[in-house]
Structure 1
Amino acid sequence: MPSSKQTAVLYRMQTPEHTCPFGLRSRALLRSKGFTVDDRLLVSREQTDAFKAEHDVKTTPQTFIDGQRIGGHEDLRKYFGLPVRDKEKKTYRPVIAIFASAALMAAAMSWAVPGTFLTIRTAEWFIAISMCLLAVQKLQDLDAFTNTFLGYDLLARRQLRYAYVYPFAELLAGVLMIAGALMWFAAPLALFIGAIGAVSVYRAVYTEKRDLKCACVGGNSNVPLGFVSLLENVMMVAMATWMLLK
Structure 2
Amino acid sequence: MSNKLTVTHTYKVTGMTCSSCEAKVKSSLLMLPNVTEVEVSKEKQSATITMEKHIALSTFQNALDKKYSITAAEHNETAEQAKSWFATYKPILIIFGYITTISIIAGIKHSTFHWMQAMNIFMAGFFLTFSFFKMLDLKGFAESYSMYDIVAKKIKAWGFIYAFIELGLGIAYATNFQPFATNIVTFVVMTISIIGVLQSVLNKRKIQCACLGAVFNLPMSTVTIIEDALMIAMSGIMLITML
Supply the distance in 2 between the matched residues of 1:237 and 1:100 (Cα, whole angstroms).
Answer: 19
1:176-195 equivalences in 2 (<5 Å): 176-195=172-191
Q: Cα 1:243–1:123, aligned 2, differ >3 Å: closer, same or farther?
A: closer
Task: Decide whether the 8 Å contact of 2:152 with 2:159 is kept in 1.
Answer: yes
Residue 173 of structure 1 aligns with which residue?
A: 169
Residue 219 of structure 1 aligns with which residue?
A: 214
Structure holding more strand per residue: 2
Task: Decide whether the 8 Å contact of 2:152 with 2:158 is kept in 1.
Answer: yes
Residues 1:104 and 2:79 are matched in the alignment: no
Supply the distance in 1 between the matched residues of 2:111 and 2:209 (Cα, whole angstroms).
Answer: 35
Q: Residue type matched to 1:238 in 2?
A: A
TM-score by length of 1: 0.60
Residue 151 of structure 1 aligns with which residue?
A: 147
Q: Cα 1:87–1:137, aligned 2, differ >3 Å: closer, same or farther?
A: farther
Q: Cα 1:99–1:198, aligned 2, differ >3 Å: closer, same or farther?
A: same
Equivalenced residues, count: 167
Larger Rg: 1
Q: Which of 123, 135, 138 in structure 2 is aligned with 1:139? A: 135
Q: Percent identity?
A: 23
1:77-92 equivalences in 2 (<5 Å): 86=52, 91-92=88-89
Deviations 1:117-141 (A, max 9, x none): 8430223322331122111111111
Q: Cα 1:188–1:123, aligned 2, differ >3 Å: closer, same or farther?
A: closer
Supply the distance in 2 between the matched residues of 1:117 and 1:174 (Cα, whole angstroms).
Answer: 25
Residue 38 of structure 2 aligns with which residue?
A: none
Q: Residue type matched to 2:120 in 1?
A: E
TM-score by length of 2: 0.61
Supply the distance in 1 between the matched residues of 2:222 and 2:181 (Cα, whole angstroms).
Answer: 28
Task: Decide whether the 8 Å contact of 1:127 with 1:235 is kept in 2.
Answer: no
Structure 1 unaligned regions, length at least 5 = 1-71, 79-84
Structure 2 unaligned regions, length at least 5 = 8-50, 55-83
